[in-house]
Structure formats: C-alpha cells, structure tokens
Amino acid sequence: MKFKSVFDIIGPVMIGPSSSHTAGAARIGRVARDLFGKQPTWAKIHLYGSFAETYKGHGTDIAIIGGLLDYDTFDERIKTAFEDAEKAGLTFEFIPETAHTEHPNTARIVIGDGHQEMSLVGISIGGGKIEITELNGFPLRLSGNLAAILVVHEDRSGCIANVANCLAKYDINIGHMEVSRKEKGNMALMIIEVDQNVETHILEEIGALPNITQVTRIAD
C-alpha cells in the first residue's frame, strides 16, 4: 500500500493544481538538490509519460525548478521559480521524451555546476509522494519522506555492518535500507532512511570508516 492515511491520498499543502504533477515534481527537484549538496548552475530535465504531455499546463516545469531552488511544495515562490532561477544563475532545459517508462510520471534530472555532474530518476506516485529510482546509474528506492543518508563505498565485506553499528551507537533507528552496486567488488551505494536527522559529527564518523568514499545527508 502506498497510502497510509486520508492525508496521503489528498496530498500535501502545495502550490499548483496537482499533487502528482506539481507537489511530487517539486519534491523530486528538491531531493535532487539535496543529493547534489549545493545550488546547481544548470539543469536538463527529461520528462516521460504524463509529465511530458502536460508539464506546462500542470506546473510540473516550475515545480521542478522550484525544487532545485530548495522551495518546498507549499512555498509561494514556486510561482516565480523561472524568474528566481535566472537571478540565481540557474539555466535549465526541459526535454519531453517519447520513450516508454514503467511509471507515467517520470523525470530524469541531470544537474551540474561546472565542477561536478549528477543524474537522478524520480517518479511521482500520487498524493505528492515520490520515489527516486536511480542515482548516477545506481538503481535504488528512496521515498524522500524520511531523513536519509547516502553512503558511497567500496563493495567490501563489513561496510554495511560498520555503518549500521555506528548509527546504533547513537540510537538512530533505520526505517528502510537498500544497497545497490554496478559490479561485484566495485563501488556500491547504501540508501538508509532513518527516523531522525543525522548530526554532522555522526556523518563524519561514518565517513572515516574503512572503505567509505562519500556520505551525504538528506533532511526530511
């Protein structure tokens, strides 16, 4: 079941006409910014299915840009996201695609700032809820509804246990966890959704563990 209450079905407080096409789109954009860790200077947004067909009329375009500017679903500034992006030095391009995807409300967001680049695939599953299904080629499932940390690490035994033990030491409860890899013995990615935000000193402690390459926090 995707929905747990009537409020999940109705959707969040939001700007725009559609929880799926507007609120969900804003959340996808905001998670992309969180994962990137800073304001991107350019974005290419590939839209699929219903997103591609109705993105202008339903405000999907301004919602994604608003999310990339760190605006929440209820932020009135979403209405002026295009103008605000220009002021912030963020250039963007929307690319409607005809390729079939598993979900009709799918966006692939590619962002960068001249120093680094990141790609992300997100779907809006209804009621303002989203799932992130791919990050830089890694398959994953991230809801965006809980605080989360992403840990890039070498595919070695003990990495998962070390990170879990570090969180347990600080009484941080794991709500959902997934691990994916592109190749055996190469780089891997942990997605850990937790019940509270993880403080910076804990992230630093995780980052100092053996075979850990990068640790990123996403606030709820």
Residue in the block written with tokens 């209804």: 126
Same domain flag for 118 and 198: no
Same domain flag for 102 and 16: yes
Q: Contact 37/44 with Cβ under 8 angstroms?
A: no
Average pLDDT over residues 43-71: 94
Cα–Cα distance measured from residue 48 to residue 103, given in angstroms and rounded to the nearest whole number: 9
Same domain flag for 100 and 160: no
Positive or negative, the CA dihedral 136, 139, 143, 146 is: negative
Residue 7: pLDDT over 50: no
- pTM reported for the whole predicted model: 0.77
- CATH code for the domain in which residue 29 is found: 3.30.1330.90
Residue 93: pLDDT over 50: yes
Cα–Cα distance measured from residue 119 to residue 136, given in angstroms and rounded to the nearest whole number: 5
Tokens of 38: 């800073």
Q: What digits encode the pLDDT tens for the residues 163-204? A: 999 999 999 999 989 898 877 888 899 999 999 889 999 999
Give Cα separations from 66 to 40, 78, 160 (angstroms): 12, 5, 35
Weakest mean pLDDT among 35-44, 91-100, 121-130, 168-177: 121-130
